[in-house]
Amino acid sequence: MSASGTAAAGQVEHMLRQVTPGRYDAYEALLQAIADPAGGQIWMLLWHGRAGSPDAQYGNMEVDGVGYAPCVTSAQELAVSGWNRAHELVTGRDIARALYPDRWGIWLNPHAPGGGVGIPWLDLRRIATGLDRMPAGPLRLSEPAIEIPHFYGLLAQNAHRTPAVRSLRRAWVQPALGAPYLAIGLDLYDTSRTSVDTVRAMMQQSIGAVPDGLPVSTVAMSDEYDPVTMWLRANARPFYDRDGHGGGAPAAGGYGYPPPHSR
């Protein structure tokens, strides 16, 4: 491993030691270390096969109904773990891209005192796509309590004039870190570039009715991996519905995140 890779691996281990229940700032710093493009290597434990072989298969474990692939954070931890099968050295971003689509997370150093730390698949998705692009979870989601009928009315009016929009939903999102915000769920008939551009214009035409200082974001109702979208489908009726009926398939309990004690 290069010197920079060694340093990155050391940073992952350093941040892992800082994580304790409720310390979401330390947990977020751990995710940043894993996502570091200069390193962030992870030693994935192989249950079958060898690294690069067609039959290679990661180990698996389940905690609170959420699946994880066990791994270690350094060659030293690999030796201490007593693992006597093969392993595969990968970057954090690469393993995140490989596992999150199948809703698998990783579990760092499960052999360690205290049992190590689990990174659920939703956080692997954040690593894969950019930590700054999605809010830090676990999220607290609820119906918005703030009364802004003018904004909702204007948005619904503009949506009716935008043929790409099927329906609109809303949620109040409180991230583990950062300011809470209003999320608007966009259910579109199609996601072509032209349709997305018209919906973006719709939001720009409506956003002026939002009170100063109130953050507003949008989520695509077609995104099956987004925890806000999952909550909206299960819990929020549309406040605008071109077809005149709402509802949706219930999402899995917890919306991808395990209970807090699993971290």
**DSSP per-residue string spanning 187-236:** EES---HHHHHHHHHHHHHHGGGSPTT--EEEEETT-TT-HHHHHHHHH-
Cβ-proximal residues to 154 (8 Å cutoff; 6+ apart), any chain: 205, 206, 209
The tokens 């390193």 sit on which residue?
39
Listed by start position, the domains of the chain span 3-133, 140-262
Q: Which CATH class is domain 140-262?
A: alpha beta
Considering only CA atoms, which of 230, 236, 262 is closest in space to residue 67? 262
Q: For 188-230, how does the pLDDT look when each residue is reduced to its tens digit (9 = 90+)?
A: 999 999 999 999 999 999 999 999 999 999 999 999 999 999 9
Residue 53's pLDDT band (boundaries 50, 70, 90)? confident
What's residue 81's pLDDT?
A: 94
Q: For 137-161, how does the pLDDT look when each residue is reduced to its tens digit (9 = 90+)?
A: 899 999 999 999 999 999 999 999 9
| pTM (two decimals) | 0.83
Mean pLDDT of the chain: 89
Q: Say how many C-beta atoms besides its own lie within 10 A of residue 196's C-beta.
A: 15
Report d(CA 162, CA 214) in Å as an integer.
24
What's residue 248's pLDDT?
A: 39
